[in-house]
Structure 1
């Protein structure tokens, strides 16, 4: 296994994640998820040996990270944090080329093959037209892609990305996630990335690390999701004291949308009502009537006129 966490406890003075035992092998692509503040970034920093573990060990390619120098870790791991300092006076090509200098002295002239690889990475990220732009001229999304490009240019066996699709639209999210999957499958890299947009990210990740209740659950993505109903089933948030929810029988997405619509538009007690989705229409009923409606607007009109 390339990355191996053995009975590892992560945190600062207080543990955030306890007793982690998990591994990742070359070719794995793993999605890291969890609520804000549970320790996702701290876990990443611990793997980088920027934050010492409280207990246990982390091994990188068979070696304890405590025995590795910063340069040795950088040769093995490329990382992109969700917020990175932007170097002054750098172009996009300069930033991506910087990933190559982990292997050379800073004064070294890049080889022709290195320059071609940088050009290929820029093309793969759809950034060719911005090659000579100053970093401060780039949009947030293109700047994020440029930092990802720098990590790719580093050509390390393990690539860690903290929220890599932040600031990206759906099209560019898919470009990045496809690229990461290609690196894992066809170039034998280990990819570990965190994301709040897990419904999209799960389509590209074979494994998942879920942090909750000071534990890390690791396994096949779909099996982890199926064992955590709270992830798959959307919550129905309650905001107003005046609103009383009806009974809603429907697929989760339809249920969530109807609940949202009713709560925003009808500040009243609807607990006597039952709504059931019948494939193409809503059946609305109480103990003394039943009617069918095809739109939320029709439902709202009915309920506003009911006492």
Structure 2
């Protein structure tokens, strides 16, 4: 295994994640998920040896990271954080090319093959028209893609990305996620990335690491999702104390939409009613009353007439 965490406790002065026992190999693409503040970025920084583990060991290509120099770690791991300092007076091409210099002294010129690789990365990220733009003239989304491009140019076996799809629209998120999967499968890279867009990202990830209640649960994506019911089922948030919901029998998405609609529009006790979604219709019933509605607009009119 290329990356191994053995009985590892992650944190600063106090533990955030305890007893981590997991590993990933080249060719894997792993999605890291968890709520804000649970330790995702701290875990990434521990793998980079920017933060020391509180307990246990982390191995990179069978070598303890504690015994590796910063340069050796940088040769093995390319990283993109959600917020990175923007170099002054750099163009997009300059930034992506910077990834190549980890392999050379700073005064070296890039080889022809390096320059071709940089151009291929720019094209794959659909940034060709911006290649000579100063970084301060790029949108947040294109700037994020440029930093990802720098990591790709580094050509390290492990690429770690902290929220790589931040600031990106749906189309560009898919471009990045497809690119990451291609790197893992066709170029035998290990990809570890965190994301709040996990419902989309899971379609591209083989494995998931989920941090929950101070523990890290790791495994095949679908196994992890089925173990964590809270990830798949929508949560019905009660934000109106005067609202008492009806009984709702419907698919999860329809149930969530109805609950949201009723709570926003009716501050009253609806617990005597039952709403069932059948064959594209809502059937509302109470005692001897029953009515069909085809839309939320119909439901709104009905409930106003009943109250």
TM-score range, shorter chain: over 0.9
What is the deviation of 1:267?
Answer: 1.4
CA RMSD of aligned residues (A): 0.6
What is the deviation of 1:288?
Answer: 2.0
How many residues are paired up? 307
Question: Quick one: distance in 1 between partners of 2:240 and 2:27?
Answer: 49
Question: Quick one: distance in 1 between partners of 2:186 and 2:2?
Answer: 17
Q: Which runs of 5+ in 2 are unaligned?
A: none
Please state whether the residue corresponding to 1:89 is helix, strand or coil.
coil
**Matching of residues 238-277 of structure 1 within 5 Å:** 238-277=238-277
What is the deviation of 1:279?
Answer: 2.6
Question: Is structure 2 residue 23 aligned with structure 1 residue 30?
Answer: no
Question: Quick one: distance in 2 between partners of 1:124 and 1:246?
Answer: 51
Map of 2:41 onto structure 1: 41
Q: Is the 8 A contact 1:17 1:211 kept in 2?
A: yes
Question: Quick one: distance in 2 between partners of 1:111 and 1:242?
Answer: 69
Q: Could you tell me the TM-score, scaled by structure 2's length?
A: 0.99
Map of 1:66 onto structure 2: 66
Q: Which shifted more, 258-267 or 124-133?
A: 258-267
Map of 2:124 onto structure 1: 124
Q: Which shifted more, 44-53 or 238-247?
A: 238-247
Q: Deviations over 1:184-226 (max 9, x none)?
A: 0000000000011111000000000000010000000011000
- Which stretches of structure 1, 4 residues or longer, exceed 2 Å deviation after superposition? none
Please state whether the residue corresponding to 2:50 is helix, strand or coil.
coil
Question: Quick one: distance in 1 between partners of 2:84 and 2:278?
Answer: 50
Question: Quick one: distance in 1 between partners of 2:248 and 2:87?
Answer: 53
Q: Which shifted more, 142-151 or 262-271?
A: 262-271
What is the deviation of 1:233?
Answer: 0.5
What is the deviation of 1:51?
Answer: 0.5
Q: Is the 8 A contact 1:244 1:268 kept in 2?
A: yes
Q: Which runs of 5+ in 1 are unaligned?
A: none
Map of 2:201 onto structure 1: 201
Question: Quick one: distance in 2 between partners of 1:263 and 1:145?
Answer: 40
